[in-house]
Amino acid sequence: MNRIFSSDAPRRRRVRSFSTRAAYAAAAFCALSLGVDDFAGTSFFVGEGSAHARESSLSVATPFEVGESASGNYLAAIVAGAERDTLAASTFFREALRSDPRNRELTERAFVAALANGNMQEAFALAARVATFDKNNGLANLTLGVEAIKTKKFAKARAVLAKGGLDRKHDVTSTLLTAWAYAGAGETKQALATADKLKEDAFAVFRDYHAALIADAAKNGDKAEATKRFKSAYGSERNTLRLVDAYGRFLVSRGSREEARRVYRSFDDLAPRHPIVTAAIADIDTGKPLIPFVRDADAGAAEVLYGLGAIGGRQGDELASLIYLRLSLFLAPNNALATITLADIYERMKQEEIAIDLYDSVPKDSPLRVNADVQAALLLETLGKTKEATDHLQSVIAENPKDQEALTALGNIQRSRKLFADSVTTYTKVLDLQPQTDKSQWLLYYYRGIANERRKNWPTAESDLKKALELYPDQPLVLNYLGYSWVDQGVNLDEAFKMLRRAVDLRARDGYVVDSLGWAYYRLGRYDEAVRELEKAVDLKPSDPVINDHLGDAYWRVNRKLEARFQWNHARDMSPDPDDLPKILEKIDKGLSDPSPIASDQTKKKNGG
């Protein structure tokens, strides 16, 4: 449950978050058909609506006004979609359609926009209109099928879902939703038979998981079938949180609390301290019940859509994910994992304001609420709302003084603000809460090592970085940081270069890591090799001012002075760190002076000549 980080090289400091990522996927699920045909021809992004009741108010959205011109509203919708301003896209398409209600293309675009925006009643009405002129429209039929399940019209749900492609061999969505429509009507045997139409091995875990849920949720409960199916699914895939949680809850309901504890503990060994797992183990230990999260057709169908939405988001298909997750949350609005997954997608789409609203809608009693609050605080920091970010995070810590993720996030914010002494204290608090040493602690030692290096306490920083490497040998970020730091100081050069080359081998597509190797060559006066690596780094991260600045320096040293000034001008125009800008401007004006001392004979001596 952690987020992916980019490299923190000594001259490049950026806040890196460490957070829960709600995910529901196993390797076997990756081959699922996500109904791509249902979204064909839709090339805009649309967004946040009113599907969530607010627990508090962190809203930072900027209001906007619609125009009076139909063409103006249509163009505004297109622009909003291109900018991934999802709320605006939905609103402007709605206004454009009012001026031309018979326009089929506009009706379909407004429908998709309303659906992805979470404006469900509007989406259902528009889906019905789309279906009148395009009876086989997969997305319209999917939407109408979900509406029918919600209103307990299960026969109607099956009929419209069949139009959307039930007969297609690989249509997982329609097949499983139809199975749940049978389950909702009390036809458990037919529901299981429908799920079993998914014969391919790639669908086996997904099929058995939902068959288990269907059998368990049946009116009289076919516990033997549910047990068989859960064992099959869990036996094939033990690393999927949602499956683990469902199986654990099923075992508790059957009185097998010790077996449930083993299931959760096994997952905790793989991904320590996940809040859902931690809460479940605590409830088992105190004898509390664990309620199954799928008890009817609504929740079962929602589970299908949530799983597909989570997978699509990780594969980069944001529009499909938004639609699946909105439909899922319509059926099961209290699914905190679905809400956080949706917020995560908006965050990756750079729609931070919408993401904050979604994080703020996670129920207060959810084990994921603290994580949601932490993510909201980090996004407030990203938006430059530093006071709001600090106040929000401090309130979370006041209520949860031992929450390690909240404290880690505070340390990251302090480090990003160059409050290095404060961040060291905060990271130390987190480590003190973890008396047992485990591999996951490498990240805290890495963060604390960075902060100590920046506050000029190199012996302690070096110790932290070595500890991080001891816990996680071959960790490319640590190899990169420690190796670069040694080169920068002119010590341990042979080992440092081995580390930097190994880091590049492990993360050859990471421009920051490649830059570190190139800059190390530069610092040693090996300018031709520096140019080679730094050109690769710029190709990988063309908009980074530090890398462009480095390449300019290397070009100057190999007498490519026109290209050097070109790169420095690039760096100047890329909003560099305020401390770096005067140096860049001076180089543009005067060029570089003599090489730094590290490239002298002293360096060669330290490197063994």
Query: 486: part of which helix (H) or strand (E)?
Result: helix 476-489
If we measure between CA atoms, which residue out of 325, 372, 380 comes closest to residue 352?
380
Query: Mean pLDDT throughout 395-419?
Result: 94
The pLDDT value given to residue 63 = 52
The pLDDT value given to residue 166 = 42
The answer to whether position 470 is within a domain reads no
Amino acid at 464: D
The pLDDT value given to residue 62 = 52
Cα–Cα distance for residue pair 42/138, rounded to 1 Å: 13
* pLDDT at residue 601 greater than cutoff 80: no
> 267, 297, 327 — which closes off a domain?
297
The answer to whether position 466 is within a domain reads no
- Judge whether 89 and 351 are in contact, CB under 8 Å: no
Cα–Cα distance for residue pair 76/82, rounded to 1 Å: 10
What letter does residue 491 receive in the DSSP assignment? -
CA dihedral of residues 378, 384, 390, 392 (deg, nearest 10): -60
Please write the tens of the pLDDT for every residue from 95-146. Answer: 999 989 999 999 999 999 899 889 999 999 999 999 999 998 999 999 999 9
Residue 82 tokens read as 């291109």
Query: Mean pLDDT throughout 310-328?
Result: 85
Percent of residues, the chain, with pLDDT higher than 70: 85
The pLDDT value given to residue 373 = 96
If we measure between CA atoms, which residue out of 128, 153, 121, 149 comes closest to residue 49?
121
The total number of structural domains in the chain stands at 2
Contacts of 388 (CB under 8 A, 6+ apart): 58, 380
The answer to whether position 32 is within a domain reads yes
Contacts of 67 (CB under 8 A, 6+ apart): 73, 76, 95
The answer to whether position 495 is within a domain reads yes
- Lowest-confidence segment of 31-35, 364-368, 509-513 by average pLDDT: 31-35
Cα–Cα distance for residue pair 546/368, rounded to 1 Å: 37
592: helix, strand or coil: coil
> 297, 325, 351 — which closes off a domain?
297
CA 571 → CA 21, 164, 562, distances in Å? 34, 52, 14
- Judge whether 337 and 331 are in contact, CB under 8 Å: no
Percent of residues, the chain, with pLDDT higher than 90: 72
Cα–Cα distance for residue pair 427/285, rounded to 1 Å: 29
The answer to whether position 352 is within a domain reads no
The answer to whether position 306 is within a domain reads no
Long-range contacts of 505-508 (CB under 8 A, 24+ apart): 506/474, 506/476, 506/479, 507/7, 507/476, 507/480
The pLDDT value given to residue 11 = 35
Please write the tens of the pLDDT for every residue from 144-170. Answer: 999 999 999 999 999 999 986 444 444
The pLDDT value given to residue 34 = 34
> 246, 279, 297 — which closes off a domain?
297
Cα–Cα distance for residue pair 571/588, rounded to 1 Å: 10
* pLDDT at residue 51 greater than cutoff 90: no
CATH number at residue 133: 1.25.40.10
The pLDDT value given to residue 313 = 62
- Taking each helix axis from N to C end, the angle separating 581-590 and 561-572, rounded to the nearest 10 degrees, works out to 150
What is the extent of the structural domain holding 541?
Answer: 475-609
Give start and end residues of each alpha helix (H) in 164-317.
172-184, 188-195, 204-217, 223-236, 241-253, 257-270, 275-285, 297-314
- Judge whether 42 and 112 are in contact, CB under 8 Å: yes
Query: Mean pLDDT throughout 293-315?
Result: 90
> Within 10 A of 595 (CB to CB), how many other CB atoms are there?
15
Cα–Cα distance for residue pair 590/598, rounded to 1 Å: 22
Task: Give the distance, in angstroms, between the CA of residue 557 and the centroid of all CA atoms in the same chain.
Answer: 41
Between 569 and 117, the more confident residue is 569
* pLDDT at residue 394 greater than cutoff 50: yes
Contacts of 447 (CB under 8 A, 6+ apart): 16, 408, 411, 412, 415, 423, 427
The answer to whether position 419 is within a domain reads no
The answer to whether position 224 is within a domain reads yes
The pLDDT value given to residue 3 = 26
- Lowest-confidence segment of 169-178, 205-214, 294-303 by average pLDDT: 169-178
